[in-house]
Amino acid sequence: MEQHRPATAGGDEKNLSHGVVEESVGGSVAGEKVAGRILDHSHNADAAMKALAEYEGEVLELTEETNKRLLRKIDWHIMPILCLVYMVNFLDKTTISYASIMGLKEPHAQGGIDITSNQYSWLGSMFYFGYLVWEWPTSRLLQYLPLGKYSAFNVVMWGVSLTCFAAANNFAGAMVVRFFLGFFESAVTPGFVLFTSQWYTKSEQGMRTGIWFSFNGVAQIVGGLVAYGIARGTDIHGSSIEPWKILFLATGLFTVSLGIAFFFIMPDNQLNCRWLSEQDRRLAVERIRVNQQGIGNKTWKMYQVKEAFLDPLTWAFFLYSLITSITNGGITNFFSLLITSFGYTSEQSLLYGTPAGAVEIIALVGCGYFGDKLGSRLLVSTSGLIAAIIGVALIIALPESMNVGRLIGYYLTGAAATSFVALLSLVGTNVAGYTKKTTVGALYLIGYCVGNIIGPQTFRGNDYTTAEIIILVCESVAVLIVVFIFFYCKWQNKKKAAIRAAPGYVKLENQEWLDLTDRENPEFVYVL
């Protein structure tokens, strides 16, 4: 891999317009629409184009050795902080599950906040009401404000919100805290999708997304061990405050400190990165030219919003996220109670829940690696979803006396996240145009919110059979949606290949930096 490119915006407006007109004659997806918008694109191009224009005439040399050196440097600086923040993202919203068996639900006289089972279900859902309310505005702010700094602000604020839960003494107070926890956490996943697409090539994004998302599994292991340690320690030695309050204070304050670190470590993009030299900053931009997406554009483009809403792929993403999040919302809030329903004690459930996190880590990293390696991110990811379906079937079908088998079934549900993460990574990889990408990402996570609001409501009373059947049906439908997305993207790639092969087709110079959408750019190839 050796690239020699002039570091220039490339071509004047006349030449750009000429190139698009020729392209449209060749039958381009962009066609006359792009020709009509070309002056707007040249003035509102990606930040990468504007930055490289400052070095007009200078040749950038990106050898295979240089590319590997840059990738190592980017990985060592970015991935650890992304992984840690995503770990606390999951830990903080599921801390309530551990707290539910550490005295949270008990009467006031026994140190709890005196809530019923149905009220606890609403606490699980309220997080996602906050998430839902702010998801669309925060996606817009992620585009408009400095990406690293705005993300860091939200990490600090959700940490502050979590610590406030320790001060809650009734159901109403707990609901308010859960709302704001979801409100501020709504920025993390869309922000991380943007970070990943900004810094990594298409062939690198699947595994990296799988790695940072797999820290949900790490959070489940760490959370279980921390909660167990607090529960045992306070049981033996006593404490001046309730164990569940200690848990919220410990996790919340750790998140605040991590958010402060994120502010100083994570750049907004390659162009203001402290730990890259000026030359390496330009090379870091050059290495992701192949993505046909650029690194960021602050101009809100309504035609891209319209395209997002009319794209069948958008609604396939949305529907998948909605359906699978019903499963997620139920299990993440009730896994401790689900394990106790198998016949285990409360303390045992804190420990016995941790292997599900290990299953999730192995499934996500494995599917991310082999998906990118084999060039089949979607089909490889369905293996985890099928394993989860088998797991739920075991929970439903096995008699209550076979508690070990049902526990193993629960562990297999940890693999369900593989397809969700694959599709999440495809929002970054297969959606181009910065406004379109943030719009599709927001819709994907709105589906996530709605599903997670519904999920806890399926767990009613002490009999979870109905909820387990709903989970089984949802995951089965999800497999069909993944298959649809695979064949739809394959069909679109064939159409684009025919356009590029047509007589008279001309590729625009520096077309990669024009902030074109995936539908209007014939050079854009969907990853499968």
- Check if the beta carbon of residue 128 is closer than 8 Å to that of residue 165: no
What's the pLDDT band for 111 if we cut at 50, 70, 90?
A: confident
Q: What is the mean pLDDT of residues 383-398?
A: 92
Q: Does 488 score more than 70 pLDDT?
A: yes
Buried b (16+ CB within 10 A) or exposed e, 92-114: bbbbbbbbbbbbbbeeeeeebbe
Strand partners, 421: none
pLDDT, one tens digit per residue, over 346-386 is: 878 878 888 888 999 999 999 988 988 888 889 999 999 99
- Has residue 160 got a pLDDT over 90? yes
Residue type, 411: Y
User: Which residue's structure tokens are 């929002």?
Assistant: 427
Q: Is the dihedral of CA 216, 451, 424, 364 positive or negative?
A: positive
pTM of the model: 0.79
pLDDT at 329: 77
Whole-number Cα distances in Å, 1 to 63, 87, 202, 373: 6, 35, 15, 17
CA-angle at 392, arms to 389 and 394, nearest 5°: 110
Buried b (16+ CB within 10 A) or exposed e, 451-478: bbbbbbbbbeeeebeebbebbbebbeeb
- The mean-pLDDT minimum among 332-341, 349-358, 397-406 falls in 332-341
As a whole number, mean pLDDT of residues 202-219 equals 91
CATH architecture of 64-497: Up-down Bundle (1.20)
Query: Read out DSSP for 400-424?
Result: TT-HHHHHHHHHHGGGGHHHHHHHH
- Mean pLDDT within 257-274: 93
Residues sharing a CB contact under 8 Å with residue 94, sequence separation 6 or more, in sequence order: 219, 220, 223, 332, 333
CA distance 436 to 193: 13
Residues 77-100: tens digit of each pLDDT: 999 999 999 999 999 988 998 898
d(CA 121, CA 460): 8
Q: Is 125 exposed, middle or buried (0-12, 13-18, 19+ CB in 10 A)?
A: buried
Query: What is the per-residue pLDDT for 29?
Result: 41
| Selection from 438, 444, 439 nearest residue 421 by Cα | 444
Amino acid at 471: I
pLDDT band at residue 45 under the 50/70/90 scheme:
low
Mean pLDDT of the chain: 85
Please tell me the predicted confidence (pLDDT) of residue 4. Answer: 46
Q: What is the mean pLDDT of residues 171-178?
A: 95
Query: In terms of Cα–Cα distance, which of 184, 81, 193, 182 is closest to 143?
Result: 193
- pLDDT band at residue 453 under the 50/70/90 scheme: confident
Inform me whether the pLDDT recorded for 20 exceeds 50. Answer: no
- pLDDT at residue 523 greater than cutoff 80: yes
Angle between helices 312-340 and 117-144 (to 10 degrees): 140
pLDDT band at 30 (very low <50, low <70, confident <90, very high): very low
Question: Average pLDDT, stretch 185-214?
Answer: 92
Confidence at residue 331, expressed as pLDDT on a 0 to 100 scale: 80
What type of residue is 205?
Q
The packing angle between helices 403-412 and 312-340, to 10°, is: 150
In degrees and rounded to multiples of 5, residue 160 shows phi and psi of: -60, -45
Q: How far apart are CA 371 and CA 369, in angstroms?
A: 5
Query: Any idea of the CA torsion for 466, 470, 476, 482, to the nearest 10 degrees?
Result: -160
pLDDT in tens, 69-79: 999 999 999 99
- What's the whole-number mean pLDDT along residues 169-189? 95
pLDDT at 350: 78
Q: Which of 26-40, 241-255, 403-417 has the highest mean pLDDT?
A: 241-255
Predicted confidence (pLDDT) per residue in 232-249, tens digit = 898 888 888 999 999 999
pLDDT tens per residue, range 321-330: 999 999 887 7
Give me the percent of the chain exceeding a pLDDT of 90: 48
Amino acid at 415: A
User: Which residues, in sequence order, are bridge partners of residue 3?
Assistant: 62
The answer on pLDDT for 31 being more than 60 is no
Q: Residue 359 carries which side chain, given as an amino acid letter?
A: V
DSSP E strands in 203-362: the ranges are none
Please give the Cα distance from 195 to 477 (Å, whole number).
30
SS3 62: strand
The answer on pLDDT for 7 being more than 50 is: no
Task: Give the list of residues 6+ apart from residue 26 with CB closer than 8 angstroms, or none.
Answer: 499, 502, 503, 504, 505, 506
Nearest residue to 510 via CA among 51, 29, 198: 51
Segment 313-317 shows an average pLDDT of 96
- Domain residue ranges in the chain: 64-497
